[in-house]
Chain A
Amino acid sequence: MSSTAHLTWFARHEFRLAWREWLAMMTGGRRRRNRAVIGLLVFAAILHLPAYAVVARYVDLRFPLDPSSLIVLTATIFLSWALMLSQAIESVTRVFYARADLDLIMSSPAKLTNIFSIRIAAIALTVSSMALLLSTPFIDVLVYLGGPRWLAGFGVVLAIGLSAAAAAIAVTAFLFRVIGPSRTRLVAQIVSAVIGAGFVIALQVVAVLSYGTLSRFAFLTSDTAARIAPAPDSLIWWPARASLGDIEIMLLLLAAALVLLGVVMAVFAPRFADTVASVAANPAAVTQGRARAFRSGSRQQALRRKEFLLLRRDPWLLSQSLMQMLYLLPPALMLWRSFSGTSTAIVLITPVIVMAAGQLAGGLAWLTISGEDAPDLVATAPLPPSRVTRAKIEVVLIAIATVFAPLVVALTFASPQQAAVTAIAIIIATASAAAVQLWFRAQAKRSQFRRRQTSSRIATFAEAFSSIGWAATAALALTIPVAALVSGIMTLLTLAIAWKISPRQI
């Protein structure tokens, strides 16, 4: 086989792997390829409706825009880039650590620089393809209503995807160099999570501090932002100008992204083999625990202690907790400001907190109830299964109480009634999330957490709708109590349907 044929063959192999990984993610590993493809096409078709609702009013936009619109458009593009960067970092980490074929590749006589160049390109194309898939309905609507100039949007999305993948590889390689292979996985997960949400949260923080609102658009559309914005011919506006149909700038951006990716491939592909080798040489850090005496207590206490210890040492939980803390930063700031003013916007804190509690509880409940690494041990222990389940649910409730109690206490000083409503809603949202996990529990390793959402789509949607529903109910209880009744009943109905179709009706 010639060198070119060899590379083409490996590229095909990489894309087949990427396709199957995606398929497994979509189908929960159930090999329903045709249904997944049809589902995806239907989803893309349906997405044209919300796309129409969102972008139809912007079809006549042309450069030059007013500063506020330009800032909002650029910020949206930057947010998309940040989200793609987050996804790309996650992909790069997975390729470094999780691919089962690394030993095979490393021991093969193939030229590793070429092989890893293709793998980097595959990551870039996978990230870009996903972005293209999601953006196509929006661009379709714009092209249909506003003309072919909007086709430039595809080029912008591709440029964003390629540059995000290049940046992700550089970031991960940098982390390897600075903190070593064993810590990179955890830190990369956290960086990925924080990058994804950081930009929006930062905008909210600025909005809270400057305007007393949680709206992230408050700052972007403010006079201050317009005043400090660069001139219209600045490079900063190039992505916005390209997406508005400036073909020349779009081609320049695409070329720049390709050059960036090329440079990253040239610089990092030769080192990739060393990186993989160093990961293999450091499969896990030797972490010394504290030597201390065994503790006494009941069997449930032993279970709870074990769960807390594992949660404390869980990298996912660490990153998610940090994320929750970040998400809670804007409402916490708002709460703090409300002590010195009479802002009515403080009501908005309640749904944010309840939503965060529901989401965190869902993850915690999965980790404690389904993510049991020694199921045989627990099942052969001399205590009834109901007591095991109870101990695990108690862990979720205690963890949620620990995270959210300080906020509720602080809220009590601002508004005791709102604090009471928030506390009740947190308890209900947590209990609902734990119940959904119980109904749909499927034994798995904790390390499979990433795939938990694909194991049961119904559970995922039920958990999300429950969190959103209880958040809305709590907000309405503070503003329009009658509407809260309707919202609460609808959320209960959602849970009842989930229970009815769940494999375990308990």
Chain B
Amino acid sequence: MTSQLSALALRGLTKRFDRPAVDALDLTIHVGEFYALLGPNGAGKTTTLRMVAGLLRPDAGSVSILGVDALADPVAAKQIMAWVSDEPMIYDKLTPLEYLEFVAGLWGIDPRTSEKSARNLLISLGLEPHLNERCEGFSKGMRQKVALAGALVHDPRLIILDEPLTGLDALSARHVKGLLQERVRTGCTVIMTTHILEVAERMADRIGVIASGRLIAEGTLNELREQNGRNDTTLEDMFIALVDTEAAAA
């Protein structure tokens, strides 16, 4: 499924607030890979991804997205990327279709293509009865689905999702997971942070664990088990052991 081209390459990425939030992080994610970035609260996951998405300027380091230097040419990098935050940011006074029309317009997508794609996306996420209702009355899960559809409507090659399954019911979560896996099958790269370790365990090709702004473990589930020295352990056990070890070392 994965090729060895790099969809995202971070080198020495650094960001300090009162203390280092991201500390000289090196990370490579390949094209067509489903990558789960895990870590305890405050580990630097969201800060890392916000720098990749162009929402935060790093203090040092480089960000390369499919060969495009995202710091030197942010517009070109943004053209091929989508960002979905944990808090769905949509417009209450727009309908889902209007929202997707706006997103497609921002990315300069031909309306003939984007309209069909928008409808299909919203329908596949179970929003067909609400296509022309304003979002102001939507639940958090519905808003999350609209935001996700917005991220996919311009057919990005790199999708970055920060806790995308928060607030979704089981059926919606399955819809979202299916949609993301389908994108990965077509060659798209997905990077996702999550606290639901079972999701990472089931869906991710590779998993990275970040703590105190540094990558402390990375690999497939089996590689992580080997690193941990136990073949029958769950990701949850490994995660807790890794984070505890890191905390003790700090």
A and B: bona fide binding partners: yes
- Chain A residues in the interface with B (C-beta under 8 A): 283-291, 293-299, 301-303, 305-306, 309-310, 313-314, 373-384
**Is the beta-carbon distance between B93 and A313 smaller than 8 angstroms?**
yes
Cβ of B131 under 8 Å from chain A: yes
Q: Nearest chain A CB to B51's CB is how many angstroms away?
A: 12
**Is the beta-carbon distance between B55 and A380 smaller than 8 angstroms?**
yes
Cβ of B150 under 8 Å from chain A: yes
Q: Which residues of A contact B229 (CB under 8 A)?
A: none
Cβ of B225 under 8 Å from chain A: no
Other-chain contact of B93, A309, A382, A384 (Cβ < 8 Å): A309
Cβ of B188 under 8 Å from chain A: no
Cβ of B38 under 8 Å from chain A: no
Q: Which residues of B contact A297 (CB under 8 A)?
A: 105
Task: Digitize B23-59: 1 where CB-to-A-CB distance is under 8 Å, 0 elsewhere.
Answer: 0000000000000000000000000000001110000
Instruction: Determine the residue in chain B with the shortest Cβ distance to A304.
Output: B105
- Complex CA–CA separation, A337 to B220 (angstroms): 82
Q: Which residues of A contact B101 (CB under 8 A)?
A: 294-295, 302
**Is the beta-carbon distance between B53 and A296 smaller than 8 angstroms?**
no
**Is the beta-carbon distance between A291 and B111 smaller than 8 angstroms?**
no
**Is the beta-carbon distance between A378 and B106 smaller than 8 angstroms?**
yes
**Is the beta-carbon distance between A376 and B55 smaller than 8 angstroms?**
yes
Segment at the A interface, from B13-21, B75-83, B163-171, B189-197: B75-83
**Is the beta-carbon distance between A293 and B106 smaller than 8 angstroms?**
no
**Is the beta-carbon distance between B91 and A287 smaller than 8 angstroms?**
no
Q: Nearest chain A CB to B135's CB is how many angstroms away?
A: 9
Cβ of B94 under 8 Å from chain A: yes
Instruction: Determine the residue in chain A with the shortest Cβ distance to B135.
Output: A284
Q: Nearest chain B CB to A424's CB is how many angstroms away?
A: 34
Cβ of B85 under 8 Å from chain A: yes
Q: Determine the interface band of chain B, counting residues with CB < 8 A from chain A.
A: 35 or more
Q: Which residues of B contact A382 (CB under 8 A)?
A: 75-76, 78-79, 106-108
**Is the beta-carbon distance between B93 and A286 smaller than 8 angstroms?**
no
**Is the beta-carbon distance between B132 and A380 smaller than 8 angstroms?**
no
**Is the beta-carbon distance between B132 and A289 smaller than 8 angstroms?**
yes
Most buried by B among A303, A310, A376, A380: A380
5 pairs of A and B residues whose beta carbons are closest in the complex: A302-B105, A294-B111, A313-B93, A382-B79, A284-B137
Q: Can you give 26 contacting A-B residue pairs, CB < 8 Å? A: A284-B92, A284-B137, A287-B133, A287-B136, A289-B94, A289-B134, A291-B131, A294-B111, A294-B115, A295-B101, A301-B105, A302-B101, A306-B94, A309-B93, A309-B94, A309-B98, A310-B91, A376-B85, A377-B150, A380-B53, A380-B81, A380-B82, A381-B106, A382-B75, A382-B106, A384-B75
Q: Nearest chain B CB to A61's CB is how many angstroms away?
A: 52
**Is the beta-carbon distance between B75 and A291 smaller than 8 angstroms?**
no
Q: Which residues of B contact A290 (CB under 8 A)?
A: 132
**Is the beta-carbon distance between B136 and A293 smaller than 8 angstroms?**
no
Instruction: Determine the residue in chain A with the shortest Cβ distance to B117.
Output: A294
- Complex CA–CA separation, A64 to B110 (angstroms): 77
Task: Digitize B121-143: 1 where CB-to-A-CB distance is under 8 Å, 0 elsewhere.
Answer: 00000000001111011000000
List CB contacts (< 8 Å) of B68-96 with chain A: 75-76, 78-79, 81-83, 85, 89-95
Q: Which residues of B contact A286 (CB under 8 A)?
A: 133-134, 137
- Complex CA–CA separation, A378 to B111 (angstroms): 19
Q: Nearest chain A CB to B150's CB is how many angstroms away?
A: 7
